[in-house]
Amino acid sequence: MCALMFDWMGQTKATWVSAAEVWAMLSVVCKDASVPNFGRVKQLCKDYLDRRMERIDMCPAGHVAYIDCSHPLLQAPEFQNAREDSCRVCGSKRWLAPRRLASGRWAPQKAVKEYYYQPVQYWLQDMFRVPDNAEHLANDGGGPPGSVRKSNGYKRKVLDNPVMNQDHRNQGLIATADNIPCGKNKNSARGVCPCMVRTTMKDALGLNIVNAHMFALVPDQHWVLNAVTGRLRRKKKKPSWLTAILVRFTEELLWGYHTGFTTIDHSLPRGHARRNFQLHCILLLWCGDWPGINEAAGTMSAGKCCCHWCQQQFVYSMSLRRFTFCDFGAFLGPNDPQRRPVDGPTPLPRTHHQMCLDAEESEEFKGGFDDQDHPRFASGVCYVCPLAYLELWDMVWDFMADWMHMSEGYFKEHLIPMLKGKRRPTPPWILANPDKDRRIVV
């Protein structure tokens, strides 16, 4: 009954006062049941959320999380921000200006923006609370063709990893993030950015949203204070970077990999030698659309755009209001008959080491973030991504493109109209100055 009550409160966003009235009605209806008072229900909710949800102050643009990381690998100054009052990147204030309440008293100090973080540790421990889950959580590498468990990356990070292959219950994780509007209109005033993580358990179960975990929820609004009226209002602004979320996420994954989480396997009887174990985890992939990959990896998605997987640079089209990836000729084979001299040499692929060097160079730049001499305008890398500190993480190939966006655009805009006879498979016709603007007429 308490679980149903919590579900109703979450769906209706009920306050404690309105929920107490509904609980009193339920007590009358269920007069023959042993119904606890609402104070006990509130305490149950608070006890459950204790350490399972954190509210973390952050920069409105997502540059900084105001926390101090405890892991030895995250002791650099950029990961120790609990006592800071402004963002070290954009200079935005952490706190709102002091304000008086209607009663005349000073209001408590309030952060400009915060996000909600639900630790991965407790979700992983809860997965083993269900005895039927245990057999599907084995990291034995089995699965149908195309499964993540069959990939070379899974073999390298899990099957051949001496930390992970000591116990078949250790977990490889896949994370993703996307921004969604809270309404039918994508330009609505409210939206959030949920960050999800799932295990590589049997695909039919692992891809079920019931077995996924939302480890962070970031609103696309922050508080501003009207200097004249002294009232608070919400200002819509989506986070530009995911650094504030990834710092906390990376810290937990580092502890989960090196130390592990004490877990009880409820599929084994009490007294069994392997019922209690240290569960280790490792991040396999981060999946997202093109802007999401750039927000997570710390690379540029606007201005002078660089490919995430190679050193090719693309041109922004003012007519299309997006980058045009038309320089495809350079990616053809050296003996391909369609390759032209103007295509130039094949772009060099990016490497994890070079990405880290470019990130450190951008971090050490003393000028402004928008200074034209900033190294990011040449390399496309803006800052050090926290995920780079994870074991066996590759800053190039472990960021995976969300193929849903690509396949939808390909089938909806190209293949299906072509099969219906509404579009001819002709090459694009490029107009305007190719160095500044490209207008594609199909």
CB-side neighbour CA atoms (13 Å) of 223:
19
Distance between CA 116 and CA 86 in Å, rounded?
A: 20
Distance between CA 50 and CA 35 in Å, rounded?
A: 23
Query: What does the DSSP 8-state code read for residue 65?
Result: B
User: At residue 192, does pLDDT exceed 50?
Assistant: yes
Q: What is the DSSP string of 157-223?
A: IIIT-TTTTTSTT-EEEEEEE--EESSSSTT-S-EEEEEEEEE-S-HHHHTSGGG-EEEEEEESEEE
Distance between CA 284 and CA 325 in Å, rounded?
A: 28
| Segment 3-24 mean pLDDT | 76
For the chain, the average pLDDT equals 83
Sign of CA dihedral 373, 379, 382, 386: negative
A 10 A CB-CB count for 359 gives: 23
Percent of the chain with pLDDT over 90: 35
Q: Which residues contact 367 (CB under 8 A, 6 or more apart)?
A: 373, 374
Residue 57 and residue 94 in contact, taking contact as beta carbons nearer than 8 Å: yes
**What are the CB-based long-range contacts (under 8 Å, 24+) for 131-135?**
131/266, 131/267, 132/267, 133/201, 133/205, 133/211, 133/267, 134/169, 134/265, 134/266, 134/267, 134/268, 135/267
User: At residue 268, does pLDDT exceed 60?
Assistant: yes
Distance between CA 112 and CA 67 in Å, rounded?
A: 15
Residue 281 and residue 163 in contact, taking contact as beta carbons nearer than 8 Å: no
Is residue 442 very low, low, confident or very high in pLDDT (cuts 50, 70, 90)?
Answer: very low
State residue 438's pLDDT score: 45
pLDDT digits (tens, 9 = 90+) for 58-104: 999 999 999 999 999 999 888 999 999 999 888 899 999 888 887 88
A 10 A CB-CB count for 189 gives: 13
12: amino acid identity, one letter: T
Beta pairing class for 399-401 and 322-324: unpaired
Does the global pTM surpass 0.85? no
48 or 106, higher pLDDT? 106
Distance between CA 134 and CA 140 in Å, rounded?
A: 12
Is residue 264 very low, low, confident or very high in pLDDT (cuts 50, 70, 90)?
Answer: very high
Residue 235 and residue 221 in contact, taking contact as beta carbons nearer than 8 Å: yes
Q: How far is CA 308 from CA 58, 296, 334, 379, in A?
A: 26, 12, 22, 10
State residue 410's pLDDT score: 65
Residue 222 and residue 113 in contact, taking contact as beta carbons nearer than 8 Å: yes
| Segment 309-330 mean pLDDT | 66
Residue 120 and residue 174 in contact, taking contact as beta carbons nearer than 8 Å: no
Q: How far is CA 139 from CA 161, 165, 171, in A?
A: 12, 8, 7
pLDDT digits (tens, 9 = 90+) for 374-398: 888 888 888 889 999 999 999 999 9
**Which position has the token pair 């995920």?**
387
Burial of 117 (0-12, 13-18, 19+ CB in 10 A): buried
